């Protein structure tokens, strides 16, 4: 049994070593999913979400979301230009947006209404673009596969223990991994997407100060939440603090972009007159 467990853990270790890469921020990552696999997964999931959701056909809302996305994608390095970069507007009063591998993104009308100007929504779209180019989807799938393989190895190692004791130890190991590894891993992705998105919006000509204001608004409307260590996202105050610390680095990028010409013309629709 121990030979079998060593074999399983050895395979996991070999995969981890060969799958190491680097994110756009320089962070070491684990991703053994190919680009074509990820893109196909993203395309399939995106189509499923569109089939199950309510897609807006309002040309003004669609043009608004596409304008912001196009402006941000235009400042990406060349290696990220071959994604599809498709954005859909979901006609639902939900304050949310999402990104899938391959450049498939969705933004809900609830989020579009909450964002008080194009700069704030550009912060959201830049964040989602950040998820895509950092390949967070592939990294999460890879880490989950490694976690599953590790649990299999642990099950083999504990096979000589009484069933009740083995089940308790495996349950404790699973909870510890989720709270100590998987959840912080998700929060790290969110923080990294914030960092990438703020840089991109500044380079595209959107005021990065509005990213901080957006999260201040989210904190005001959201009220209290659960403890951060049990959440997949950083607490709003943590995001506000981290974005504020990044402002001195990105404001010169924004100012330089304004010197080069007028910012993107992506006027916010008048949501107030629609209600």
The residues that are catalytic are 128
Q: 241, exposed or middle or buried, with CB in 10 Å at 0-12, 13-18, 19+?
A: middle
Angle at 146 between CA 8 and CA 130, to 5 degrees: 160
| DSSP string for 65-88 | HHHHHHHHHTTS-GGGTTS--EEE
Q: Quick one: which of 205, 194, 273 has its CA closest to 67? A: 205
Which residues lie below 8 Å from residue 49, measured CB to CB, with a gap of 6+? 106
Yes or no: say if 250 and 212 are a contact pair by the CB < 8 Å rule.
no
Sheet holding 97-100, edge to edge: 86-90, 104-108, 97-100
β partners of residue 89? 107
Distance CA 123, CA 119 (A): 6
Which residues lie below 8 Å from residue 75, measured CB to CB, with a gap of 6+? 200, 203, 204
DSSP 55: B
């Amino acid at each position: 049994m121990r030979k079998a467990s060593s074999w399983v853990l050895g395979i996991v270790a070999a995969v981890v070593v060969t799958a190491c890469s680097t994110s756009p921020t320089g962070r070491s990552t684990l991703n053994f999913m190919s680009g074509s696999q990820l893109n196909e997964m993203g395309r399939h999931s995106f189509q499923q979400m569109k089939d199950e959701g309510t897609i807006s056909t309002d040309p003004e809302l669609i043009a608004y979301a596409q304008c912001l996305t196009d402006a941000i994608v235009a400042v990406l390095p060349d290696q990220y230009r071959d994604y599809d970069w498709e954005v859909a507007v979901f006609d639902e009063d939900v304050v949310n947006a999402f990104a899938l591998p391959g450049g498939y993104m969705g933004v809900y009308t609830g989020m579009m209404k909450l964002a008080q100007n194009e700069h704030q929504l550009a912060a959201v779209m830049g964040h989602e673009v950040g998820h895509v180019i950092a390949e967070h989807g592939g990294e999460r799938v890879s880490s989950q596969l490694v976690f599953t393989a590790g649990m299999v190895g642990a099950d083999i190692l504990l096979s000589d223990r009484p069933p009740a004791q083995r089940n308790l130890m495996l349950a404790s190991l699973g909870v510890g991994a989720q709270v100590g590894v998987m959840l912080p891993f998700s929060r790290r992705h969110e923080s990294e997407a914030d960092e990438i998105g703020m840089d991109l919006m500044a380079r595209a000509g959107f005021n990065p100060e509005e990213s901080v204001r957006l999260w201040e608004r989210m904190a005001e409307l959201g009220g209290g939440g659960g403890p951060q260590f049990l959440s997949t996202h950083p607490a709003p105050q943590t995001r506000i603090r981290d974005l504020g610390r990044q402002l001195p680095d990105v404001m010169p990028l924004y100012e330089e972009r304004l010197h080069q010409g007028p910012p993107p013309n992506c006027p916010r629709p008048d949501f107030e007159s629609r209600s």
